[in-house]
A and B are shown apart, each in its own frame.
Chain A
Amino acid sequence: TQLLEQSPQFLSIQEGENLTVYCNSSSVFSSLQWYRQEPGEGPVLLVTVVTGGEVKKLKRLTFQFGDARKDSSLHITAAQPGDTGLYLCQVSGEKLTFGTGTRLTIIP
């Protein structure tokens, strides 16, 4: 089973600040997904990255896939209370694997 480590585990910042969360592994992946999960709901797919070095932007969210396709980062610019949630990364291998997530709280 592939091991995915997400950091930090918890993050609480003020509205308007910038932040970056990470998803790391020792294995190489063909693709990596980021999800956001709100309380009482299932995860919602934000983005898929497939090419080493790829950068994708979704409004204030910027996703990057590492050159070696072993890691990824999610950067949020000018965080808003609506960004609050659990951010999960997932990779597709023989057995689909999720990281344990970063619980983000944006304080108004």
Chain B
Amino acid sequence: NAGVTQTPKFQVLKTGQSMTLQCAQDMNHEYMSWYRQDPGMGLRLIHYSVGAGITDQGEVPNGYNVSRSTTEDFPLRLLSAAPSQTSVYFCASSRYRKYGYTFGSGTRLTVV
């Protein structure tokens, strides 16, 4: 049981480049979320999904897009990378949101 798998683990981008962070879960969870974690700021919600075909914005959605074409996958797209997007990104999934999430191991992104 792999749980939540995120790729890549590390990435360096130049300002203005685009990329997609991949997230896949094999637990048939309906709820999936993307967070960014910055020193002193805690975990902040970027986008979330309550099921295939349904997405919504979180606390800090600007500069990011998501889609949910299948239950398993929830990719996060950076449209035009900026240094302010340097962060550690976590994907998480849950069967019943009220009872907590399973997190991936994160992607450490540096934008130069």
Task: Identify the A interface with B (CB < 8 A).
Answer: 1, 30-31, 33, 35, 40-45, 48, 50, 88, 90, 92, 95-101
A residues in contact with B98, CB < 8 Å: 30-31, 48, 50, 92
Given contacts A45-B101, A88-B42, A96-B45, 5 further A-B contacts (CB under 8 A): A42-B104, A43-B103, A96-B33, A97-B45, A98-B35
Cβ of B54 under 8 Å from chain A: no
- How close is A6's CB to chain B, nearest CB, in angstroms? 9
Residues of A within 8 A of B33 (CB): 96
Candidates B40, B58, B100, B106; contact of A33 at CB < 8 Å? B100
Cβ distance B30 to chain A, nearest Cβ, rounded Å: 14
Count B-side interface residues using an 8 Å CB cutoff: 24
Count contacts between A and B, CB distance < 8 Å: 58
CB B77 to nearest CB in A, in angstroms, measures 20
Q: Which residue of B lies closest to A43 (CB)?
A: B103
**A48 and B104: CB pair below 8 A?**
no
Q: Is the CB of B48 within 8 A of A96?
A: yes
**How far in angstroms is the closest Cβ of chain A from B23?**
11
Q: Which residues of B contact A35 (CB under 8 A)?
A: 100, 103
Residue B59 contacts which of A1, A31, A99, A100 (CB distance < 8 angstroms)?
A1
Contact of A98 among B42, B99, B104, B106 (CB under 8 A): B42
Contact status of A45 and B104, CB under 8 A, knowing A96-B45, A99-B42: no
